[in-house]
Structure 1
Amino acid sequence: MKLKDILLENPIIAAIRNDDDLKNVLKSDAIVIFVLYGDILNIGHICNKLKEKNKTVFVHVDLIEGLRGDSAGIKYVKENANPDGIISTKASNIKYGHNLGMYTIQRIFIIDSLSLKTGIKNIHETSPNAVEVMPGVASKIISNMEKEISTYIIAGGLIKTKKDVIDSLSAGALAISTTERTLWNMQ
């Protein structure tokens, strides 16, 4: 299945930060999971638990302890954790993950007009499968980005309510990621 179809069918992405979140997401309706924690010793175990429940798994490789953000680190994650894709703020990680045949999501933080311009430039250079725009409650930014890039937009960060979800999706995001457990079953 293509990433666009996965996100269209499952627009609420559960972002997990610890083992307690992992336990809860395994019981949730959320299908797409962003793993925002772990280390080189347990990332395979975390991904296996999620895969056993037929979850679509993305590992934020910048946040895995003991993992260096380079091509060997990305290769290690692919071979030892086998996620469906990776998330990173680093262009080199996005390019290498893409070369390994993984879905790639570039996370960008938009704090001003310069970071928006730089983010759009980086997206054109790296060609990720999707972009996670942070903060996700910035509907105006999402709307502007949608006009400038041709990749899928995921809104993430500070999304706490159903209204935040609706606003982000209405602005043009294909999906949202959230650590707010009460939203994980809102498929």
Structure 2
Amino acid sequence: MATALAELLEEHPVVASVVDEAGLRAVLRSDCRIVFLLYGSVLDLPDIVQRLKDDGRVVLVNVDLLDGFAGKEVVVRYVKERTAADGILSSKAFMVRAARELGLFAVHRFFLIDSLSYHNLAPQVRRSQRDCVEILPGCMPRVISWVVADIGVPLIAGGLVCDRDDVFAALKAGACAIASSNRDVWAM
């Protein structure tokens, strides 16, 4: 069953991963509608999110990368109550569950570094109550196809997606979208 986030990703399959202020300025000049915000602090997060929202973007905040926050569920509550963000990304299942409980979009991120991390992915996905899964690196079409077959959840390929060939290989392998900080990829 498609979630609202999966439907958005189907319409806008290139997600801009923004890692700094220069990336923020660049994404505001781009056509990317969905933004993964990978930087910010307790002090500036509400303003950064608002700049993106004022420009009509769908914003998901990586709560694992925020400065000044601890890895606790209260961070998700802060994002919900103090920003206009649409959702969060996290590699922690409890953070993803907390986001869903608060009505936020939730993307569960996985770093696939070996067969152990691959084999642990499906059980974690079942427990996290996520909208989508993001796997990193996203430049592994063979692995993307395995994961898509295993989890039955919309999958975003992120990290090291560097060019047109990477984008099309990931989408052909079954990813519903790609996420990249590469501005050339945003322009596709």
C-alpha displacement at 1:119, in angstroms?
1.3
Identity %: 36
Letter in 2 for 1:3: L
Q: Distance in 2 between matches of 1:11 and 1:40?
A: 29
SS at match of 1:104: strand
Structure 1 unaligned regions, length at least 5: none
Map Cα deviations across residues 110-134 of structure 1 (whole Å, 9 max, x no partner). Answer: 1111101111110011121000011
Tell me the amino acid that sits aligned with residue 85 of structure 1.
G
- In the aligned structure 1, how far is the partner of 2:148 from the partner of 2:162? 22
Give distance in 2, aligned partners of 1:148 and 1:110: 14
- The match for 1:97 among 99, 106, 111 is 99
**Taking structure 2 as the reference length, what is the TM-score of the superposition?**
0.97
Residue in 2 that maps onto 1:74: 76
Aligned partner letter, 2:130: P
Structure 2 match to 1:139: 141
Structure 2: state its 5+ residue gaps. Answer: none
TM-score (norm: length of structure 1): 0.97
Match of 1:15 in 2: 17
Q: Are 2:31 and 1:29 aligned? A: yes
Match of 1:62, SS state, is coil
Q: Which whole-Å deviations, capped at 9, do the CAs of 1:59-118 have from their partners, x for residues lacking one?
A: 000000011121211101111112111000011101111100111000001111110111
Residue-pair matches, total:
186
- Structure 2 CA distance for aligned equivalents of residues 122 and 5 of structure 1: 23
Give SS of 1:63's match: coil
- Secondary structure of 1:142's counterpart equals helix
* Structure 2: distance between partners of 1:69 and 1:135: 23
SS at match of 1:125: helix
Task: Give yes or no for contact 2:76–2:95 (8 Å, CA) kept in 1.
Answer: yes
The aligned amino acid for 2:23 is D
Aligned partners of 2:154 and 2:21: how far apart in 1?
Answer: 29
Structural mapping, 1:165-180, within 5 Å: 165-180=167-182
Structure 1 Cα separation of the partners of residues 187 and 54 of structure 2: 19
- C-alpha displacement at 1:177, in angstroms? 0.2
Give the whole-Å Cα distance in 1 for the aligned partners of 2:114 and 2:122: 13
Distance 2:41 2:64 in 1: 11
**What is residue 54 of structure 1 aligned with on the other side?**
56
Residues in 2 aligned to 1:150 and 1:104: alpha-carbon distance in whole angstroms: 16
CA shift for structure 1 position 185? 2.1
User: Counterpart of 1:131 in 2: which secondary structure?
Assistant: strand
How far apart, CA to CA, are the structure 1 residues paired with 2:129 and 2:149? 16
Moved over 4 A (4+): none
Which residue number corresponds to residue 158 of structure 2? 156
**Counterpart-to-counterpart distance in 2, 1:95 and 1:4:** 17
In structure 1, distance between residues paired with 2:73 and 2:131: 18
CA RMSD, 1 decimal: 1.0
Give the counterpart letter for 1:49 in structure 2: R
**Contact 2:53–2:84, Cα closer than 8 Å, also in 1:** no
- The DSSP-based 3-state class of the residue aligned with 1:107 is strand
